[in-house]
Structure 1
Amino acid sequence: MKLERLISIIYKLLNNDVLPANALAEEFQVSQRTIYRDIDVICAAGFPVVSYQGNKGGFGMMEGFKMDKSLLGSYDVNALVTVLKGLSTVFEDERAQGTIERLQTVGTEQRTPSLAVDFETRRTDPETLPLLRAAITERKVIRFGYINAKNERTTRELEPVRLHFKYGSWYIYGYCLTRCDYREFRLSRMVEALRTERSFEPHQEVPEEAGPFVGDQSLVEDVVVKVGAEALADAMDQFGYVLKTFHSDGSMTMRIPVYKPAEATWLWSILLGFGSGAEVLEPLELRAVMKEQLRKTLNLYE
């Protein structure tokens, strides 16, 4: 414990001009006398600690003293710090904050960061991520309600393995005790997640998450959509990597390969979200489905 405190104090001194002894004592939950002894030990180890007197006094490292940047080789320290800051904000992780302080001592001085990372959590209860992270660390079973792709609500129990941020959303992967197999769940569809007091032992082999389901390639069709000028930005956000043709009137035509498009409810909701800014041209079967969906929507407002 003392060694960890000494290391933390060293990195804090490297990252701050002056740190008062009482502030250090409060942070590490020790007496100021203990902090003075720690400073003596740090000085004896060869670190040039300077003592500043007065109301704003305290301790700091001698100006110009820095740790060897070769400790991280060719890593982009500033990029690592940026990513860790995003994670520490989401999870309120004090250990990540400690790592950030250590990395900052060997990072290059950069007034304007070249990278910014925002792990968006608007679709997720802010208390859910820290709860799941703690359950993974402590190996505790979690219980939650879940709305699947068929809009069915079930109750699941999971031995959590890891959290993933992908496709702009958070997912949790683990062994589902309800289905007796490994499953992945999207956090935005979870309801009333809680960590139980039941512990579990990790399985010897944990399979990787399955990739995106493609299915029989013969059932993949190109959905041709004409997008008006007023919906270009939304369409580009939703379908960034599909074939696009831009027209002189400001509109655009997209060809989107989709598995069984007439049954792809996820696609319907996206296209309906464009309102009058998008029209399905092909296949005709999907065009008929969109008409029916619009009729049902209109009936709600009769």
Structure 2
Amino acid sequence: MKLERLISITYLLLNNEVVSASELSYKYGVSQRTIYRDIEAICAAGIPVVSYQGVNGGYGIMEEYKMDKSLLGSDDIASLITLLNSTTTIFQDERVQETIQRLKTVQTDSSKTPSLTMDLGSWRSYACLLRTLRSAINAGQLVHFHYINAKEERQDRIVEPVSLVLKYDTWYLYGYCRSRSDYRLFKLTRMSELTALEEVFERKHTVHADNIFSGGVYDHDQTEHAVILFTAGSLAKVLDEFYLDEKQFNENGTLTLTIVQPIDTDWLIQKLLTFGEDAVVLEPPMLRLRIKEKIEKMLDRYGEV
């Protein structure tokens, strides 16, 4: 069939420097005139086919469109395809789909069971939010939204969006906040009524990605040091929630957790309260006091029980 022939010719051109019309004619059992029409159809589909004249002439695909197979190993290609596939569940980006198809043309063994599988589908609940922000980033458009800060205040924010960041299972928007005249990180879960404005900003944002989570960019309080003792009956949950932090397993079955990195204090308090009596903050005193105040307020609400 013609469609199958067109696909086969495209793959053949991707994997070869130059293929003559006579070779294609012989391979597919059609006339050279048919091959010419097939090449025109492939070009019309957006694939940049180049015609080479001379004795060794024929057809090839523009080098800038092809990927050098020697640059990536089979495992690298498979991992890239898996990662890109996982993002398409959210962003529905046709360009990503095209990239996946190109990667598959240099994949040497597509039948091999992938060693990596990813699924970001759990974020579909606000996939529309992610797509709106990414579109604004690509277009250089300002965004406006309402934001709940660490003081529980609901504020209007106008931001020059720079990048979407996924860290510790949480999505953030990194951008230049005009209200604060500085760069900030905004949790997407705290945003509401997001709109992309027509205004396009001129500022050139050159902040390196490695600096996004450095000091001063969070829009909430942080703690950089905490020591928590967990009972033996909560070890699995501790590992699920705090895998990357320093852990010491004690002889009596308990676990001592040490946090030595910036972390949202309110988030940490809320997370520790889910452990109930199975978690005790040893230090710092400020964190112990805040948790005690939280517990006392909770007890006041149930004073008549």
2:278 is the counterpart of 1:244: no
> C-alpha displacement at 1:84, in angstroms?
0.9
Residue 126 of structure 2 is aligned to residue 125 of structure 1: yes
2:155 alignment counterpart? 154
Q: Which runs of 5+ in 2 are unaligned?
A: 1-5, 15-34, 43-48, 52-57, 61-65, 217-221
What is the rounded CA distance, in whole Å, between the counterparts of 1:101 and 1:152 in structure 2?
46
Tell me which of 52, 68, 71 is aligned to 1:73: 71
Residue 97 (structure 1) shift: 0.5
Report the Cα distance in structure 1 between the residues aligned to 2:207 and 2:181, rounded to whole angstroms. 14
Q: In the alignment, is the contact (CA less than 8 A) between 2:162 and 2:205 conserved in 1?
A: no
Take 2:7 and 2:148, find their aligned partners in 1: how far apart are those partners? 46
Please list, as runs of the form range in 1=range in 2, the aligned pairs for 1:282-297 lying within 5 A after superposition. 282-283=283-284, 286-297=287-298
Q: In structure 1, what is the equivalent of residue 182 of structure 2? A: 181
Runs of at least 5 residues in structure 1 that lack an aligned partner in the other structure: 1-5, 15-34, 48-67
Separation in structure 1 between the aligned mates of residue 149 and residue 7 of structure 2, nearest angstrom: 47
Q: CA separation of 1:221/1:142 partners in 2, compared to 1, >3 Å: closer, same or farther?
A: closer
Alignment match, 1:24: none
Q: Is the 8 A contact 2:272 2:279 kept in 1?
A: yes
**After superposition, what is the alpha-carbon deviation per residue over 1:192-248, rounded to whole angstroms, capped at 9, x for unaligned?**
1111222233x245333443439xxxx988533221233212212332233322234
**1:140–1:199 Cα contact (<8 Å) kept:** yes
- Output the CA distance in 2 between the equivalents of 1:84 and 1:221: 34
Alpha-carbon distance in structure 2 between the residues aligned to 1:187 and 1:8: 44
C-alpha spacing 1:286/1:137, structure 2 compared with 1 (3 Å): closer
Give the Å deviation of 1:130.
Answer: 0.8
Partner AA of 1:96 in structure 2: V
Q: Which residue of 2 aligns with 1:228?
A: 231
2:213 is the counterpart of 1:211: yes
In structure 1, the partner of 2:97 is: 97
CA distance in 2, matches of 1:211, 1:272: 26
Deviation of 1:36 after TM superposition, in Å, equals 9.7
Residues paired across the two proteins, number: 252
Q: Which runs of 4+ in 1 moved over 6 A?
A: 6-9
Find the partner of 2:257 among 243, 246, 254: 254
CA distance in 2, matches of 1:152, 1:71: 53
SS in 2 for 1:127: helix
In structure 1, distance between residues paired with 2:287 and 2:280:
11
Separation in structure 1 between the aligned mates of residue 155 and residue 189 of structure 2, nearest angstrom: 15
CA deviation after TM superposition for structure 1 residue 257, in Å: 3.9
Aligned to 1:136: 137
Q: How does 1:35-114 map to 2 (within 5 A)?
A: 37-38=37-38, 70-75=68-73, 76-109=76-109, 110-114=111-115
Deviation at 1:270, TM superposition (A): 1.7
Please say if residues 227 and 252 of structure 1, whose CA atoms lie closer than 8 Å, have aligned partners that are also in contact. yes
The question of whether the paired residues in 2 share the 8 Å contact of 1:223 and 1:258 is answered with no
- Cα RMSD for the two superposed structures: 3.8
Distance in structure 2 (CA, Å) of the matches to 1:231 and 1:9: 59
> What residue identity is the alignment partner of 1:37?
R
The CA distance in 2 between the partners of 1:69 and 1:222, in whole Å, is 47
Structure 2 CA distance for aligned equivalents of residues 9 and 185 of structure 1: 48
